[in-house]
Structure 1
Amino acid sequence: MARNLCFVPAFKTCTEKDLELLQNFIDKSKKLAVITGAGISTESGLPDYRSKDVGLYSRSGYRPMNYTEFLRHYSSRQRYWARSFLGWNYVHNRQPNISHLTLTDWQRSGKLGTIVTQNVDRLHHKAGTESVLELHGNLYNVKCIQCDYRISRILFQTILAEMNDDLLNDESIRTRLEEGRNIYNRTIRPDGDIDIIDDFVYSFRFPMCRRCDGILKPDIVFFGDNVQQQLVEQIHQQLNECDSLIVFGSSLKVFSIFRFILHAIQCEKPLAIVNIGPTRADTLQGNILKIDSKISDVITKIQI
């Protein structure tokens, strides 16, 4: 079981009162829905974006790849694939933590109806959870933006390695990559992006779609891109079938997820939020329980 606290922000100790309120919240529900954000994966060694001191925005001012930039500029795609190629193994090797595993247990008990996740790391799947709706896609597939061609990321990594065999075996580049590995691992991002030397980026090669020669991209929603309307409607339908909603590890800053919070409140569904730090929903009016603490400290103390 994974447990890595280097990306977990400073947190408050969960009080007995908080636990009692959340336990009562869950006991009253016949069918829960859960939304998860980057905060649930920090104990698996993946950072979030917005947390104070340890989040990527606060540490480096980093901003993820923009969809328009990726489409318009070859150099942007080259930079993305080069960095993502070297960052992939770190993300791929992450394992679910106790919070992921506990949600799987909740689902198998029949208490949990559906999980909607903002994360692209597939740690819920590794934990054995079923019926996970991935709002922002996942890193485990690569797709063409012009046709329906898709390829697994694991196979795509092999193709990238073969196309860049000379780079990977260049003694000078390989030495500098190895020397910087510890630094690079500290800059890993939730989307698998990682800082690397410019020589590697500028020489990196990547394929076009084998079917239509279109642009290949990871099957994730880049910033500036839109979530497919069909998926939005599916999530609404699944949430409507549940009688209450819990958010684990999301600041709810992006509207793609916040809209479902607004809908739940409009439908007068009970809402609970477990997150370190403030969220976009903190000032909303309604039946909202907010617990500002580390997820694993809370979720493992709940009886289902």
Structure 2
Amino acid sequence: MRMSFGLTFRAAKGHWMVNISRQCSRGSIRLFVPPSPPLDPEKVKELQRFITLSKRLLVMTGAGISTESGIPDYRVLCLDCGEQIPRAVLQERFEALNRTWSAEAHGLAPDGDVFLTEGQVQSFQVPSCARCGGPLKPDVVFFGDTVNPDKVDFVHRRVKEADSLLVVGSSLQVYSGYRFILTAREKQLPIAILNIGPTRSDDLACLKLDSPCGELLPLIDPR
């Protein structure tokens, strides 16, 4: 069963899917994936053992898996009428209103920033809701935003139902994700982390792997 907000249960006959979206080439994806040491075969075996022994494995994913797998873009929400549209549709409207603008991955800074003049900012046309003319906002949680309490409760229940937790592609620096690690710890669940670089929960994990998700996960048999 797959949760749209980044949590996955492993089905009995499931399998890992690693896809590259048509909008992103492997070359451009490498620009946003940090360098990492070569895969350690013994660590791969340890992760395989961790997953094989799990009967109700809960997987919490972060941006580290999104950048490599071509996960579809988020939707955009109208703050007035609640209308939702795919991010790709909004992109078409951006391009229609600003025909002289274009950017490629190699022209962006690693954090996604671009450098604009004041005149460029003032002349940029921002689409409004096609239904009511209201302001649009990405249907995601920004830093400082409050996560929907119903979603928080839902995930806490899933953690309590699980017998192990695997974190994929997240540093867990933000409390909205880190709190679920604390819940898993209170329940004494074994925790494995797959992430390039240190995380906030390395000391709570029984297994930590510093490898790209897209290279390691295809080597794992989830059955």
TM-score interval for Structure 1 and Structure 2 normalised by the shorter chain:
0.7 to 0.9
Does residue 1:151 correspond to 2:71, yes or no?
no
Change (3 A) 1:299 1:160: closer
Change (3 A) 1:185 1:249: same
Q: Secondary structure at the match of 2:165?
A: strand
Aligned residue in 2 for 1:251? 171
2:165 maps to amino acid? L
* Aligned counterpart for 2:53 among listed residues 15, 28, 51: 28
Q: Which moved more, 1:32-41 or 1:15-24?
A: 15-24
1:1-304 matches, cutoff 5 A: 2=20, 3-4=26-27, 5-42=30-67, 44=68, 96=69, 123-124=70-71, 139-162=73-96, 164=97, 167-168=98-99, 174=100, 177=101, 181=103, 185-187=107-109, 189=111, 194-195=113-114, 197-198=116-117, 199-209=119-129, 214-284=134-204, 288-304=206-222
Inter-partner Cα distance in structure 2 for 1:155 and 1:185: 23
Change (3 A) 1:15 1:242: same
The answer (yes or no) to whether the contact 1:188–1:195 under 8 Å persists in 2 is: no
Change (3 A) 1:297 1:151: closer
1:237 maps to amino acid? R
RCO higher in structure (CA 8 A, sep ≥6): 2
Provide the identity percentage: 40
Change (3 A) 1:240 1:151: same
User: Residue 277 of structure 1: CA displacement?
Assistant: 1.2
User: Residue 144 of structure 1: CA displacement?
Assistant: 2.4
User: Residue 196 of structure 1: CA displacement?
Assistant: 5.3
The answer (yes or no) to whether the contact 1:39–1:275 under 8 Å persists in 2 is: yes
Q: Secondary structure at the match of 2:74?
A: strand
The answer (yes or no) to whether the contact 2:62–2:168 under 8 Å persists in 1 is: yes
Change (3 A) 1:300 1:161: closer
Inter-partner Cα distance in structure 1 for 2:32 and 2:130: 39
The answer (yes or no) to whether the contact 2:193–2:202 under 8 Å persists in 1 is: no
**Aligned residues between the structures:** 196
User: Residue 256 of structure 1: CA displacement?
Assistant: 0.8
Inter-partner Cα distance in structure 2 for 1:148 and 1:196: 32
Q: Secondary structure at the match of 1:233?
A: helix
Change (3 A) 1:19 1:182: closer
CA RMSD of aligned residues (A): 2.8
The answer (yes or no) to whether the contact 2:194–2:213 under 8 Å persists in 1 is: yes
Q: Secondary structure at the match of 1:220?
A: coil
Q: Secondary structure at the match of 1:253?
A: coil
User: Residue 275 of structure 1: CA displacement?
Assistant: 1.2
The CA deviation string for residues 83-141 of structure 1, in whole angstroms up to 9 with x for no partner, is: xxxxxxxxxxxxx3xxxxxxxxxxxxxxxxxxxxxxxxxx44x5xxxxxxxxxxxx432
The answer (yes or no) to whether the contact 1:12–1:294 under 8 Å persists in 2 is: no
Inter-partner Cα distance in structure 1 for 2:211 and 2:105: 29
User: Residue 27 of structure 1: CA displacement?
Assistant: 1.5
2:76 maps to amino acid? V
The answer (yes or no) to whether the contact 1:185–1:194 under 8 Å persists in 2 is: no
Gaps of 5+ in 2: 1-18, 21-25
1:204 maps to amino acid? F
